[in-house]
Structure 1
């Protein structure tokens, strides 16, 4: 809890600091922005004052050079006058560009530059005009500017007229004097206009300066108010946090304590005093370690050292504590560090929860999970776990143990005659008696009903047999009495050695069960030791070797894909083949499926092989798209184990959903036996892949006794006729009749048919006559590496490309 309180407090503090820093940063940006805006606007006002000076100077120069031109007739003076006039005219064009809707900024920028304004002032001139042209004084200045432009246009027109007069031969002097007089009038008219413009512009600049000063004061005043508000809010938050912590500390439903860095109590709350049954003053005088149970006082201080070094913020531990009333309790303690600026903690906060009851409940649940409720012995789940451990020691350390599978012979008689209560009493008596006869290292458990299991650790076969006989004898001597009736008892015992040759717990329990069954079958009240024949032992050892080889082959990618062509016998064309798998041994030898698949199917490795085949096939198809285009259908075998696994089906779905291989290019083959054994799972697999466009073939059809009956319940697309009927059909009329019957039924159900084990051309011809759709066998094509078929397709693809 204290860790949660600290985390919550840290989160709140971090949020407050983040918000405060964000606000201060925003305020700083606002101040910078305001300052920059003020400076920019002031610079814009100065730019207009400078521009006005340039305008007035240019106007005066134009008038001067026109006077000179009128006296001298020198065209250079006329050119200088027109150059001077270009400055106010350019400013006029810039204003017109800004007055358009929308404003033409490029033209305005170009004309202001033509008007002699500094490049760095152009943007300011534009902005002031756009945003302040309706401001007091500035609006009037712009109106005066327009009036002045009319006079500038009159001067420009007068210059043109003067040029015509000067250049005309024989023109009288009086004509020039008249033009000079008009020029003087215009110049005199412009003087008050220029003065008014300068006055209004100065007043506008003054108004802007006052307005900007007010804005600056307002912004900085707002910033000051916000800063004061944040400071007051932070101070209030700190005080509230301190008050909340004190309230939480005192009113918490769990024990809480504050300690200094040396582990001495600084403060404790009332709940902790109640938990430890001690007065507050007395508790503050004690050291925390003095409260621990003597057996828990010398624990590992590693966690506390890490906390003090700053490597962790808190840690939790459970210990026993001795209360003031001498009663021992279990306490869950969480210790957290409260750090200031230093890495070392300023103080420690501890939360103590009384977990005595929850620990008792947890121990009770743990006991219930591993023990039989009726007898108090270990239950089946725990026996299997302990068998796993015993089997591991046999595999890794070559230890020898034994398993006894015990069945109470007369239990059903007692249970049926006297009722379940009597049966329960009998089971408890037998369990207690059996447990008394065992060694300390041995383990006994109830598997269920009247079946018990005993694990004899480090016991030879002869020792196990002697102990089993002793158990049997002790039960025989027991007479069970219930309500005046007496029952003689006996047990049947199956004994199995636990050695490194045992494959797994499932096999071990099965073998012990079989031995117990044989003991009962041989007359009850006896011990039967499970012994496999030499042939069976050899077969099992061989399969166990294959299990290791298969796993390593998958890990080391030593499986190889082969393929066998399936030949169309009718008009259907296209590339058809079935994928097969080969295993390359570590010594380089290659093995066909008949060598390793039995072991794979028995020890649940068939699904792993199927996954490898599907994944590798999809990889090859993705890498050879031209082959995929030429492929009509690829057949992939699916084992009975894979059909029942939902995970395998999801794997196939995921591959099909990648859209690398169209579903109609694939045909999954399932055996008739697998379909019959797992009908529901087979239907689920068939329905799922068919929904994605794949076909389903029923392999080895005809070998089962109920083939035709199951066929109508399985929506397969293809029937593969078992080769035992096909191989000799050219010389065996019965085989031919069976093949014809299967083919006819398949056609009636709308299914394609494939004949397997076609070894001669004669058989292929007969199949064609019968109407079978496809043939497969050594007479058609001997299996070859899939890579050979892929390579054979590549040149054809290149040829088509040309």
Structure 2
């Protein structure tokens, strides 16, 4: 039998639509009107057979026509009758679910099995809210097709009511919006990533716009690759006994006002600043550096209620493009230059070129050995809070070199230099000798963490010294954790693994420092018999305000828990950070909120031999 369009319209005219058909037609009419308006706004010439008016207010023959329009648009419908509990959905809806029409029997249970488990509760809440409030609701959710394929679907949920206003059923219209949803998520991802990179790529010190030491050394390397320039290191010492840390930010801001717009400034340590002058000759750089140092000496600086003047010296070194000297080498040379200026009573010392590698290495090897032989160090401790007990249960023993005045300074620059001239083992042995002696004299209960350079682990003398010291001082090995620094620089992997296994057999524990800053961290998490990792402070210092840092720390904690490894967080500065870390499952916290580094009573003091190498900020802050 052949049925033409007029017969269909005549049949529709003689049939009174149900509440479901009326709601479906209204919904589809609105969609067609939106598409029509959008097409007109785009300037397209529309030729069609559709009259844009509500079919339920006039000729009901429009219902099949509008339904057909919805079919062309690949919209699906789901209908549920409250009186019978029956559910039905259109062929288009079956195709959205990924099934041929008629294969899956529609019912409520099947519907929620087809919706993604993570979205099913949200869909239920939207339907319940629409039913309760007799209003429409819309949302985007995911459906799971055969084979586990996920698609995003935008749903519009409406409530059907009787003549007395009571709800009688639900009708939902759905459209596959996977491509639109993926495009939206990609736009958001790119915007979020762009904002994060813009915030982090400068490696700026919070509050003053200066590069951190890491960011500053990156800028030096970039300048070396692209051209020549001059590196200036300015050292300051406050007069009147004020600690350099209290004036560092004030002095840094002052130096930035003296630098040129094209210069790059970095905070290298308490009282030390770097100024990178790309594409600058030695003569103009020397003139600018002399002006900076003289104005620093003339300026009265105020930090809080205190005012102070500073002594200042400058060291310059010029470099050429693709010079063999690294950024660390240039920093060492500039630091040597200002030390030379200080020793000779000059304002500034300039080197026209980097020092020869063998000369630089021999000079610094001699200085490091002299510091070790002359007890040019002292030891500090910093408390570690057990977040599970809310109690201090550990102390980390920290190395502090002594400067010319016999005052302790951060050790990072010394360790950098020692690693470059292969003199880390003598420093590690000095720390062990003095640390074990102090532990033996202290209270019996605390647990101590002792830093060991990754480059020393493979040295055979290290393990033997641990054996001797445990026997000599009768220290319980269960009270000792050896904390490995610079894991990426372990030279002898097999020797380091032998050391790690041997000290754990003795009863000591093993920790990894600065975890999360290098790809090798995860390798060591699996391959090394470690008990604790210290999450690098760069992920902790602003974690309360950084969702990205929160996500990274959560993932590190989960990975460590899966491997049976404890976690500790560095750079903890406030109670909000402590509570957040406790909620993430971090085991220990360390930082100035828990307690600052403090000198150990009875630790070695200056004996006249010292080394001044405070090129980097204190890593325990």
* TM-score of the alignment, normalized to the shorter chain, above 0.5: no
Higher strand content, 1 or 2:
2
TM-score range, shorter chain: 0.3 to 0.5
Higher helix content, 1 or 2:
1
Q: TM-score, normalised by structure 2?
A: 0.39
Higher relative contact order (CA 8 A, sep 6+): 2
Q: TM-score, normalised by structure 1?
A: 0.30
Which has the greater radius of gyration? 1
